[in-house]
Amino acid sequence: MSFIFRDNAIFYGLIVYFSRKVFKIMRVKIVTGMFLSACSTLVSAQNTETFDSPLNISIHASGNFGELRGTHFHTGLDIKTQQRIGLPVYAPADGYVSRIKVSTWGYGKALYIDHPNGQTTVYGHLNAYAGDIAKLVLDRHYGEKNFEIEIFPRKNELQVKKGQIIAYTGNTGGSGGPHLHYEFRDTKTQNIINPLKEGMDKRLTDTQAPTVNGLYVYPVGDGAVANESETPSLLTYTTQKDGTLLVTPVKGRGDLSFGIDIHDTANYNTNKNGVYLLETFVNGKPLFSYRFDTFSFNETGYVNALIDYERYLNTKKKVQKLFFEKTYSLSVLTVDPSKGVFNVKSGQNYNYSIVLSDYHGNKTTISIPVEFSNSVAKTKKVAPTGEYKINSDRDYIFEKKNVTVSIPAKAFYNDFVMDMSVENDVLKLHKPVVPFAKSMSITFDTSAMNISNRDKAFIARVDGGKRDYFKTTKKGNLWTIYAKSFGDYKILIDDTAPTIDNASFTEGKWLSNESEISFQIRDNMSGIDTINGYINGNWILLDYDYKTRKIVHKFSDGKVVSGRNDVVIKVKDSVGNEGVYESHFFRQ
């Protein structure tokens, strides 16, 4: 006879009951201790979970955990869906739906499932939900009369079983192509966990070692020189018979370190993904390393501290700095007290090595001989120019003419020298080569400014030909925005309404065999804010994809009637200009 205990209180009650019986009969305390220990092990085993794949296809990754993205470390595994939309997504384990979010941006249509083992799985960029989940979502859309919604079902309200279809893959939100974003989190802390640690490693075939795209030496300290340069320089290397990359010896002095541009891939895959493990050594001593097993969401911005940010802006190459300029708290890093830097002294030679590993243990090793040299630098470091020396540990308030800039402490990762000026009501605030960790506030005093239409005016970033809208808080003549980028800022006016065109039907057409209607919407300045559609005076759901500027209404919602259907689409931009489209169609 076997028992399955589904209630821990009953389970432990039975443990105590049988333990007392054993103790009474045997009169030996050790028996009870052994029995309780065995039962504790059984309870622990009940809390383990084996996760199946969420897709019933071969698994290939278009993006992996910890990969360096534009503004963050990637938080999951992006699984290719054969460039298709609508593949079934299966629950990889039992659990219940804890959160549903539909957003224009980010994960688009997303689903969260809490599992009994204390983990949450996340599914992003979905095209649609399935079953009772889909019904709840549709009801909420129409209940709130909004495309963007967020739902937190009660615990066990929407239970799912392993292998159940929960959704369908898509390309919604910030997705760059059809795929499934698959993510693991610790339910309690919300820390993100590498999906390869949860069994997905066994579903990927990977015998390919990480690849080096470029290697750079960085003179870090004052007076440091490497290969006759005070600035970072590209290194050359050859591949040895054992696969090791041997770099042409670096000759220099003072505090040096390195930067590296790398990627990883796998079998049957050409995508350039991130590297799981990087380790550096000087003469065998560990210096700087990272391992992407888990991290928290508030650490994702540190990607801009890890890379050479200015080089990335200028070249789009993500060169990872293997040292600290100023210490920052990124949990995946292990760094020697020297901050990843070593001092090259007269009469001594060094061997700096880098070992790159993927999750499956494939390795690439780089060996860099370093020799002392007292050569004069032919390439000099350009001294920074600017009016203000910024210590990133401090907060600042700067005022120029009618503009005030407030910067909180820890807004930046490193110290630097900043420029600021105001000319013809345009704030020129440094150059956009410094990454931000926190937002600064910019306030314009508009009392003496000639603004023709204040209701339609806003503060925008305008450098480089851009006209980026910022939500502007207006308190009388004081107008404020929050921004995380340097550049030029000024007040612009948007008095042009959004456009609605490219309807999928002509007016008066019969659409008896169609399943949906669609339109394209555009705004030339402040951006789309709200979208509302009506058929015969009743609000309808319009799916919006900002990448294609397309809005779609599906007839399966049941809002059309037999005969004539009058359609009205209303689109507002961020300052309240409204575009309106009216038409009608017929349907049997």
- Amino acid identity at 63: G
Q: Using N-to-C axis directions, what is the helix angle for 8-26 and 29-46, rounded to 10°?
A: 160
Residue pair 238/199 in contact (Cβ under 8 Å)? The answer is no
Answer yes or no: is pLDDT of 367 > 50.
yes
Answer yes or no: is pLDDT of 586 > 70.
yes
Torsions phi, psi of 195, nearest 5? -60, -25
pLDDT of residue 385: 85
If one counts every other C-beta atom within 10 angstroms of the C-beta of residue 549, the result is 17
| Burial class of residue 486, CB neighbours in 10 A (0-12, 13-18, 19+) | buried
Going by the DSSP 8-state scheme, the letter that residue 555 receives in this structure is G
Report the chain's terminal Cα–Cα distance, integer Å.
62
pLDDT of residue 71: 87
Answer yes or no: is pLDDT of 9 > 90.
no
What percent of the chain has pLDDT above 70?
92
Q: Of 103, 115, 261, which is closest to residue 186 (Cα–Cα)?
A: 115
Task: Average the pLDDT over 276-283 and give the result.
Answer: 98
Answer yes or no: is pLDDT of 457 > 70.
yes
**Three-class SS of 208-261:** CCCEEEEEEEEECCCCCEECCECCCEECCEEECCCCCEEECCEEEEEEEEEEEE
Q: Helix (H, G, I), strand (E, B), or coil: what is residue 334?
A: strand
pLDDT of residue 195: 98
Q: What is the largest CA-CA distance in the chain?
A: 95
Q: Phi-psi category of 318—alpha, beta or left, where left has phi over 0 and alpha has psi -120 to 50?
A: beta
Task: Average the pLDDT over 489-509 and give the result.
Answer: 98
Going by the DSSP 8-state scheme, the letter that residue 558 receives in this structure is S
Residues 461, 252: Cα–Cα separation, whole Å? 42
Answer yes or no: is pLDDT of 63 > 70.
yes
Answer yes or no: is pLDDT of 29 > 50.
no
- If you write DSSP's letter for every residue of 158-187 in order, what string do you get? TEE-TT-EEEEEB--TT-SSSEEEEEEEET
Q: Where are the alpha helices (DSSP H) in 27-115?
A: 29-46
Answer yes or no: is pLDDT of 342 > 60.
yes
Residues 339, 280: Cα–Cα separation, whole Å? 12
What percent of the chain has pLDDT above 90?
89
pLDDT of residue 383: 86
Answer yes or no: is pLDDT of 33 > 70.
no
pLDDT of residue 70: 86
Task: Average the pLDDT over 392-408 and give the result.
Answer: 98
Six token digits for residue 406: 């407030």
Residues 348, 374: Cα–Cα separation, whole Å? 12
pLDDT of residue 308: 97
Average pLDDT, the chain: 92
Per-residue confidence at 34, pLDDT binned at 50, 70, 90? very low
Q: Helix (H, G, I), strand (E, B), or coil: what is residue 161?
A: coil
Task: Average the pLDDT over 344-348 and give the result.
Answer: 94
Q: Residue 565: in which H helix or E strand, if any?
A: strand 563-573
Q: Residue 17: in which H helix or E strand, if any?
A: helix 8-26
| Burial class of residue 132, CB neighbours in 10 A (0-12, 13-18, 19+) | middle
Q: Of 560, 562, 574, which is closest to residue 529 (Cα–Cα)?
A: 574
Answer yes or no: is pLDDT of 28 > 50.
no
pLDDT of residue 527: 97
Answer yes or no: is pLDDT of 42 > 70.
no
Could you give the C-alpha distances from 210 to 36, 266, 363, 434, 479, in angstroms and in order? 48, 9, 7, 29, 50
Answer yes or no: is pLDDT of 193 > 50.
yes
Q: Helix (H, G, I), strand (E, B), or coil: what is residue 265?
A: coil
pLDDT tens-digit series, residues 243-272: 999 999 999 999 999 999 999 999 999 999
Six token digits for residue 435: 């990454």
CA 190 to chain centroid: 14
pLDDT of residue 221: 86
Six token digits for residue 532: 């509302």
Going by the DSSP 8-state scheme, the letter that residue 135 receives in this structure is H
Answer yes or no: is pLDDT of 23 > 90.
no
Radius of gyration of the chain (CA): 30
Answer yes or no: is pLDDT of 574 > 90.
yes
pLDDT of residue 48: 60
Torsions phi, psi of 386, nearest 5? 160, 165
| pTM metric for this prediction | 0.89
Q: Residue 142: in which H helix or E strand, if any?
A: helix 131-144
pLDDT of residue 505: 98
- If you write DSSP's letter for every residue of 279-304 in order, what string do you get? EEEETTEEEEEEE-SEE-GGGGGGHH
Residues 253, 225: Cα–Cα separation, whole Å? 5
Spell out the long-range contacts of 400-403 with Cβ–Cβ below 8 A and sequence spacing 24 or more.
Answer: 400/427, 402/444, 402/445, 402/446, 402/447, 402/448, 402/449, 403/427, 403/442, 403/443, 403/444, 403/445
Residue pair 546/472 in contact (Cβ under 8 Å)? The answer is no
Cross-strand pairs, 344: 254
Torsions phi, psi of 89, nearest 5? -105, 125
| Burial class of residue 329, CB neighbours in 10 A (0-12, 13-18, 19+) | exposed
Answer yes or no: is pLDDT of 507 > 70.
yes
